[in-house]
């Protein structure tokens, strides 16, 4: 199963964060609109990501709910019928909740840097260090920590869990 090292943090100044990400990535980033539906499942998280353009992805992932860099294992299957798949999964498993966001994606080395505006929650950043074959978790965590420093992400802004968890907690 593919894996990455992830961190998530609250962003108080999205414009400033974007400036730093543009400088480090040497790009303006790519805007992606996403509507994620989370389904009930016995372990991990299962979500259907609808890109609102007729395409989507069914994503299963497992990661600990801790702040700081953490290993996430995932599997992804593309779909050309997100609404139809949502009906089937909703009927079979039940819906846990939904997250709507606009994501600005920057690529910095082996890391996907997301600047997210999440409906009902505000602004966040995510780092996803895509693990290379034979790369240790410690090496991936070190990449994440160094990038946190370059992007001026302080540890007191780190967030545990998924956006869905924050929404369910009423934050």
Q: Residue 105: which of 49, 29, 33 has the closest Cα?
A: 29
Domain ranges of the chain: 3-168
- pLDDT tens-digit profile of 20-77? 999 999 999 999 999 999 999 999 999 999 999 999 999 999 988 887 888 999 999 9
Query: To which CATH superfamily is domain 3-168 assigned?
Result: Hypothetical Protein Pfu-838710-001 (2.40.320.10)
Which pTM value belongs to this model? 0.91
Bridge partner list, 5: 71, 129
Question: Which of the residue ranges 92-101, 118-127, 128-137 would you say has the lowest mean pLDDT?
Answer: 128-137
**Cα torsion 158, 126, 104, 168: sign:** negative
Under the banding of pLDDT at 50, 70 and 90, the label for residue 171 is: low
d(CA 82, CA 116): 21
Token pair 């989507």 is at which residue? Answer: 56
């Amino acid at each position: 199963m593919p894996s990455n090292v992830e961190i998530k943090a609250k962003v108080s100044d999205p414009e400033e964060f974007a400036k730093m990400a543009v400088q480090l990535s040497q790009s303006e980033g790519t805007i992606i609109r996403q509507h994620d539906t989370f389904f009930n499942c016995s372990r991990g998280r299962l979500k259907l990501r609808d890109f609102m353009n007729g395409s989507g992805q069914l994503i299963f992932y497992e990661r600990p709910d801790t702040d700081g860099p953490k290993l996430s294992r995932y599997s992804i299957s593309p779909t050309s019928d997100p609404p139809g798949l949502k009906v089937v999964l909703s009927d079979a498993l039940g819906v846990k909740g939904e997250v709507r966001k606009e994501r600005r994606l920057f690529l910095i080395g082996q890391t996907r840097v997301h600047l997210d505006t999440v409906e009902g929650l505000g602004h966040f950043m995510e780092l996803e260090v895509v693990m290379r074959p034979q790369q240790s978790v410690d090496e991936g965590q070190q990449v994440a920590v160094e990038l946190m420093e370059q992007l001026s992400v302080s540890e007191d802004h780190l967030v545990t869990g998924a956006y869905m968890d924050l929404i369910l907690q009423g934050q």
